[in-house]
Amino acid sequence: MAIGEHENGTSSEDPAVEQVGWRHTVTVIKRDPTARFGLYLIGLLTLVATFTWIDYLVFDYAIAEAVWYHPERDPEVVETILPPAFIDGGTWAHPLGTDHRGRDILVRVIYGTRISITVGFLSTAIGMVGGTAIGSVAGYYGGWVDDVFMRFVETIYSIPFLVLVIAFMAAFGRSITYAMVGVGIAVIPVFARLIRSRVLSVRETDYVEAARAAGVRDSQIILRHVIPNSFAPVLVQGTLQIGISILIIAGLSFLGYGAQPPTPDWGQMLSESRGYMLPQPWFSIWPGLAILVTVMGFNLFGDGLQDAIDPKIDN
Amino acid sequence: MTLLKYTLWRILQTVPVLIGIATITFFLTNAMPGDPVDIMIGADVDEALEAALRERYGLDRPVHERYVIYLINAAQGDFGLSIHYGAPVIDKIIERLPVTMLLVGSAYTFGLGLAIPLGVLSAARRNDWIDHLSRVVALFGVSTPSFWIGLLLIIVFSFHLGWFPSSDLVRPWRGPAAVSGAETWIEVWYLSARSLVLPTIALGTLQMAAATRIERSSMIETLQTDYVKLARGYGVSEQTILRRHAFRPAQLPVITIVGLNVSTALGGSVLIETVFNINGMGRLIITGIQTLDYPLIMGTTLFFGLIFLVGVIVTDISYAYIDPRISYGDRE
């Protein structure tokens, strides 16, 4: 008996529900203004992240410096902890103010998108691929394979995400890459269990029985039939999981285990702001707001997808 | 199977998972760079002392031996000596665990106390203003980082309004003598409750939001079932349907999610304890990692897993209790 075996209580057990098709999903999303808004938000943030990656990798922040300020280097004229422009003492040269080293907060918030979006997508991809592999094999074969795989998954799941990733990074080193891999491994159970429960029902369908009777190899059945038919809920979970991963990564950076200074990162900016909460509370507001908006984008779109794919709970 | 047998069976099932956690943490901590003895006394001191320390903490033995010894000792409640504190790990955990449990328990009370009425109301009055409000609140709740909520609460309610303290948690089980500013037990509890308010909200918001969402969708689904329609057909009032027919079965998915979210709350407590300078389990594991204190890291991680597993067992049992159709221990 797996942890949380009753999870299917809300989702539909009938794989036929998945057959509603992509066209239907797209139609529902088009009609759902909040899901659309979420999608636009994700698109915009991904564009910003791509742009900041290019500026970082190819131009070494030359674009940012030419247009505005360098997101990492301390400025020559140091005006530390300026409030935002709309507050007394603020200046429109720094619309959101400056941080404790005089760097422009707006530039750092924009450039922080790079880490959050990238790590959110990639760690979820790691968890999705790993979880799909483990869950489909465990669910398809059943028996001792299932027992061994699922015990392993339960073990990982039993350790809180954050604790597991911190322990992982303590072992391998503090860097954003390890944080990303660590979060990816930590979320494997989420996908493994989801896929497994889908596979258990797909396995019993007639077409899988037929394929098996026709002598199709197990690996082919898993890849061609079982996984594609289990994919819709994974996509929904994946979208929501990107938001959760971004929250975890922000928490890690806040604790000092994510992005390392001077790389602009929201969680790390919040950590730096802790010493200035009394004189300059605005410093603590902006990076958190950026996290909130980003995660909300993924939640809105994920909810929309959920409604489109699982019409049982129509909103 | 009787409830007692089922409970024992579920407890027995956690043993391999606990061994798994111990194994993972053991090998992760062993892969850590740096030498704890060097960190403790500095790299170049006399070798006799270093050897003595290594022997004391069992670091002179090969890895596989240490692993087996660790498992055997852990099974007996002995998690070794903390290198940083120079005291048994279990003592530190016993000191810190109640603090984290108080924080998590209080966050859960806050979260569920709001989520259940909000979710039910939301489902009962779909597309009404209360439904929109609760959905917006829940959406913000699941999208906001808990530690940021903590920072904002400190800025507003500690620094500007001065209503609640910004750090430390007064432990309600400590006597008036040990708590500054308190002369009676009542005052201790008052101070304790005050110091608990902000961390509770910061940690509980996510729980509240997650539970509200699942409560709402579960109630909506239950309200669409045939037996509810039948009851409506018989002219049973909406209120009675909600209270007597729909509420109880709708709680099953809620319980599942709430049980699984113990893990999220425990992870969140690491952040919230850092924000509010609360000396609980979360800060303990951070200290362990910063000082390369192997036994401490392993012990705390194992306990985090243990609390979660207890939460899941309680969930499963209450599940079986609420839904009499489930015969204990049946697969799928």
Q: Which of B16, B31, B275 sits opposite A172 (nearest CB)?
A: B31
**Cα angle at A41 between A38 and A42, to 5 degrees?**
90
Segment A180-210, tens digit of pLDDT: 999 999 999 989 988 888 888 777 788 888 8
Radius of gyration of chain A (CA): 23
| Mean pLDDT, rounded, of chain B | 85
Of B105 and B39, the structure prediction assigns the larger pLDDT to B105
Q: How confident is the model over A134-138, as a mean pLDDT?
A: 89
Segment B290-323, tens digit of pLDDT: 888 888 888 898 899 888 888 888 887 887 777 6
DSSP letter for each residue of A103-146: -BHHHHHHHHHHHHHHHHHHHHHHHHHHHHHHHHHHHHH-HHHH
Q: How confident is the model over A276-282, as a mean pLDDT?
A: 83
Segment A62-114, tens digit of pLDDT: 777 766 777 777 776 677 777 887 777 777 777 787 877 778 888 888 888 99
Q: What percent of chain B shows pLDDT beyond 70?
A: 92
Residue A295 to residue B271, Cβ atoms within 8 A: no
pLDDT at A11: 40
Residue A240 has pLDDT above 70, yes or no: yes
Count of positions (residues) in chain B: 332
**B31 touches B23 (CB < 8 A):** no
Work out the burial of residue A16: count CB atoms within 10 Å of its CB; fewer than 13 is exposed, 13-18 middle, 19 or more buried: exposed
Q: How confident is the model at residue B30 (pLDDT cuts 50, 70, 90)?
A: confident
Q: What percent of chain B shows pLDDT beyond 90?
A: 28
Position B94, amino acid? I
Measured in angstroms, the CA of B121 and the nearest CA of chain A are apart by: 15
Of B140 and B75, the structure prediction assigns the larger pLDDT to B140
Segment B111-127, tens digit of pLDDT: 999 999 999 989 888 88
Q: What ipTM was reported for this prediction?
A: 0.86
Q: CA-nearest residue of chain B to A303?
A: B139
Collect all residues of chain A within an 8 Å Cβ-Cβ radius of residue B10: 1
Q: How confident is the model over B37-51, as a mean pLDDT?
A: 70
Segment B165-213, tens digit of pLDDT: 888 888 888 878 777 777 788 888 888 889 999 999 999 999 999 999 9
Instruction: Please report how many Cα atoms fall inside a 13 Å half-sphere around the Cα of residue B270, on the Cβ side.
Output: 31
Indicate the pTM of the whole model: 0.87
> Which regions of chain A carry the CATH code 1.10.3720.10?
41-53+109-303
Can you tell me the distance from the alpha carbon of A194 to that of A215, in angstroms, rounded to the nearest whole number?
27
Residue B266 to residue A285, Cβ atoms within 8 A: no
Q: How confident is the model at residue B331 (pLDDT cuts 50, 70, 90)?
A: very low
Can you tell me the distance from the alpha carbon of A66 to that of B331, in angstroms, rounded to the nearest whole number?
64
Q: Would you tell me which residues 115-154 of chain A have a C-beta closer than 8 angstroms to some C-beta of chain B? A: 151-152, 154
Q: How confident is the model at residue B106 (pLDDT cuts 50, 70, 90)?
A: very high
* Sequence-ordered list of residues with C-beta below 8 angstroms from that of B12, at least 6 positions apart, any chain: none
pLDDT at B125: 87
Longest CA pairwise span in chain B (Å): 88
Residue A308 has pLDDT above 60, yes or no: yes
CATH architecture of A41-53+109-303: Orthogonal Bundle (1.10)
Q: Is A217 on the interface with B (CB under 8 A)?
A: no
